[in-house]
């Protein structure tokens, strides 16, 4: 009997010693929409370093009253520790609302329905298979474009999908949809005839040497230039969802305008959005380097375009999306890009693009936004007039983000 009691005491002692108190921090997030229109799926992003948490955050719960809101924790620097918490909310015009956030150092297996998706896969051409990868770095002289499936990382929301070319172009290329939903996991950017018959979308633009959908390019004084020569190129998926995807394209040793630049383009796509936030940052403050971005001139002189001459530019046109003009029909799409005016130098154009040049002397980065619509969308825009009207509303919304206040 004494032996049994001794064993039970030992087991109880072991259990107690392995238990530890759970660290939690509860916050109130107050969001205010000062705009005159409803903000739908508006992003709220909290830097964990600014929350006052003194522990490693491994899980989070966000609530609107008693209703839980899908959210995600993202590690942005690769140290396996979360840096940001992100979620989206809908707020009527000129209203405030409070949300509760509970941070914890305990892991959670709780999941939310995915509203975004991202993938990058490397080809095994001999076996006809593909293996998922999260990040790849290659020398700048390596032709990696055909080694990775869909030529680079692909990512989507319910409305649209994109891919980023893994080569010196680094072009943002669009995939248009008929219906809202996630398709890339099944179609992998190249739908079969059977999938097309079921209403899948597909590639809707032949980007060629253009800036496609708001791709950042170099500028030689007369035309946009590709990101070359470089020492190394890395493409990486930082966040897979369920609320947002984040894709990084990093170049090191870019010989550009008399300097050697290390540059990262970060593409952020939120649930319920067709637009990308593109953050560009450098490891050193910039000097007077000039870059450019804008929208593709889809059909040369046949393309319609519009601009407010203050950082906003759009185009609308119709063209074959691929070289196969027998199997595939012409596609009509609209594109829009917005650069905050503080970075804008002047409005320019070349034979492939409608552009703005931009710069940020003494700063280590800048941002811009871009989006597209496909005419095939059952939920989109039917005419260029509708598209151009929407892009002005889009810009105004970007200039009126939610005001966020954090309270412990």
User: Residue 315's pLDDT is what?
Assistant: 97
Give Cα 220 distance to the centre of its chain.
Answer: 27
Environment class of 354 (CB within 10 Å of its CB; exposed 0-12, middle 13-18, buried 19+): buried
Per-residue confidence at 301, pLDDT binned at 50, 70, 90?
low
Is there a domain that residue 235 lies in?
yes
Three-class SS of residue 14? Answer: helix
Looking at 112, 147, 168, the residue that finishes a domain is: 112
User: Residue 123's pLDDT is what?
Assistant: 84
Environment class of 77 (CB within 10 Å of its CB; exposed 0-12, middle 13-18, buried 19+): exposed
Is there a domain that residue 323 lies in?
yes
Is there a domain that residue 362 lies in?
yes
Q: Do residues 257 and 393 share a domain?
A: yes
Least confident of 218-232, 271-285, 289-303, 371-385: 289-303
pLDDT at residue 9 above 50? Answer: no
Total structural domains within the chain: 2
Enumerate the H helices of 169-258 as residue ranges. 184-187, 193-197
Per-residue confidence at 19, pLDDT binned at 50, 70, 90?
low
Per-residue confidence at 7, pLDDT binned at 50, 70, 90?
very low
Q: Rounded to two decimals, what is the model's pTM?
A: 0.94
Q: Do residues 92 and 218 share a domain?
A: no
Rounded-to-integer distance, Cα 281 and Cα 215, Å:
14
pLDDT at residue 352 above 80? Answer: yes
Per-residue confidence at 142, pLDDT binned at 50, 70, 90?
very high
Residue 96: give its domain's CATH number. Answer: 2.60.40
Do residues 357 and 348 lie in contact, with contact meaning Cβ atoms separated by under 8 Å?
yes
Phi and psi dihedrals of 229, rounded to 5?
-80, 150
Environment class of 147 (CB within 10 Å of its CB; exposed 0-12, middle 13-18, buried 19+): middle
Is there a domain that residue 29 lies in?
no
Q: Do residues 69 and 187 share a domain?
A: no
What is the mean pLDDT of the segment spanning 121-138?
87
Q: Which two tokens stand for residue 91?
A: 């707020």
Q: Do residues 134 and 88 share a domain?
A: no
pLDDT at residue 254 above 70? Answer: yes
Is there a domain that residue 34 lies in?
no
Q: Which two tokens stand for residue 48?
A: 């964990």
Do residues 248 and 233 lie in contact, with contact meaning Cβ atoms separated by under 8 Å?
no
Rounded-to-integer distance, Cα 299 and Cα 303, Å:
5
106: containing domain: 39-112
Per-residue confidence at 303, pLDDT binned at 50, 70, 90?
confident
Q: Do residues 93 and 123 share a domain?
A: no
Q: Which of 34, 159, 45 is nearest to 91 (CA)?
A: 34
- Those residues with Cβ within 8 angstroms of residue 80's Cβ, 6 or more apart along the chain or in another chain: none
Q: Do residues 186 and 269 share a domain?
A: yes
Residue 190: give its domain's CATH number. Answer: 2.70.98
**Percentage above 90 pLDDT, the chain:** 88
Q: Do residues 43 and 179 share a domain?
A: no
Looking at 89, 112, 135, the residue that finishes a domain is: 112
Half-sphere exposure of 104 (CA within 13 A, CB side): 12
Is there a domain that residue 21 lies in?
no
Looking at 112, 144, 160, the residue that finishes a domain is: 112
Q: Do residues 330 and 358 share a domain?
A: yes
Enumerate the H helices of 60-199 as residue ranges. 184-187, 193-197
Q: Do residues 101 and 245 share a domain?
A: no
Is there a domain that residue 27 lies in?
no
Environment class of 59 (CB within 10 Å of its CB; exposed 0-12, middle 13-18, buried 19+): middle
Task: Supply angle C-alpha 366, 370, 375, rounded to 5.
Answer: 175
pLDDT digits (tens, 9 = 90+) for 199-215: 999 999 999 999 999 99
Q: Which of 328, 168, 313 is nearest to 233 (CA)?
A: 168
Q: Do residues 377 and 304 share a domain?
A: yes
Rounded-to-integer distance, Cα 188 and Cα 158, Å:
15
Q: Which residues pair with 336 in a beta bridge?
A: 314, 371
**Percentage above 70 pLDDT, the chain:** 94
Kindly report the average pLDDT of the chain as a whole number. 93
Give Cα 48 distance to the centre of its chain.
Answer: 20
Q: Which residues pair with 266 in a beta bridge?
A: 248, 279
Per-residue confidence at 348, pLDDT binned at 50, 70, 90?
very high
Q: Do residues 194 and 325 share a domain?
A: yes
Is there a domain that residue 9 lies in?
no
Q: Do residues 72 and 157 share a domain?
A: no
Q: If you search the block for the tokens 């989507």, which residue do you land on?
A: 156
What is the mean pLDDT of the segment spanning 280-291?
97
User: Residue 8's pLDDT is what?
Assistant: 46
């Amino acid at each position: 009997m004494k032996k049994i009691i001794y064993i039970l005491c030992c087991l109880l002692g072991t259990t107690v010693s392995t238990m530890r108190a759970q660290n939690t921090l509860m916050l109130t997030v107050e969001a205010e929409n000062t705009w005159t229109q409803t903000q739908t799926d508006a992003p709220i992003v909290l830097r964990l370093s600014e929350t006052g948490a003194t522990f490693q955050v491994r899980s989070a719960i966000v609530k609107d009253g008693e209703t839980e809101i899908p959210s995600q924790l993202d590690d942005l620097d690769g140290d396996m520790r979360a840096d940001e918490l992100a979620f989206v909310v809908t707020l009527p015009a000129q209203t405030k609302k409070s949300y509760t956030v509970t941070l914890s150092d305990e892991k959670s297996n709780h999941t939310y329905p995915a509203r975004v998706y991202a993938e990058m896969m490397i080809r095994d051409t001999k076996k006809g298979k593909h293996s998922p990868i999260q990040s790849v770095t290659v020398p700048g002289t390596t032709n990696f474009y055909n080694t990775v499936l869909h030529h680079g990382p692909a990512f989507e929301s319910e409305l649209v999908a994109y891919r980023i070319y893994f080569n010196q172009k680094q072009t943002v290329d669009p995939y248009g949809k008929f219906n809202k939903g996630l398709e890339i996991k099944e179609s992998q950017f190249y739908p079969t005839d059977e999938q097309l018959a079921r209403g899948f979308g597909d590639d809707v633009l032949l980007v060629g040497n253009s800036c496609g959908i708001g791709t950042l390019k170099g500028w030689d004084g007369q035309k946009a230039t590709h990101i070359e020569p470089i020492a190394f190129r890395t493409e990486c998926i930082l966040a897979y969802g369920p609320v947002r995807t984040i894709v990084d394209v990093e170049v090191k040793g870019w010989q550009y305008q008399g300097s050697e630049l290390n540059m990262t383009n970060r593409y952020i796509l939120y649930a319920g959005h067709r637009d990308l936030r593109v953050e560009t940052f450098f490891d050193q403050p910039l000097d007077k380097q000039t870059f450019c971005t804008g929208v593709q001139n889809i059909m040369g002189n046949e393309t319609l375009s519009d601009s407010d001459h203050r950082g906003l530019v759009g185009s609308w046109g119709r063209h074959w999306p691929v070289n196969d003009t027998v199997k595939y029909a012409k596609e009509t799409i609209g594109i829009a890009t917005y650069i905050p005016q503080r970075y804008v130098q002047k409005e320019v154009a070349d034979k492939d693009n409608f552009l703005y040049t931009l710069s940020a002397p003494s700063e280590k980065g800048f941002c811009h936004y871009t989006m597209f619509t496909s005419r095939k969308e059952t939920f989109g825009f039917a005419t260029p007039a509708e598209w151009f009207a929407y892009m002005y509303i889009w810009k105004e919304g970007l200039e009126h983000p939610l005001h966020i206040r954090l309270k412990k």
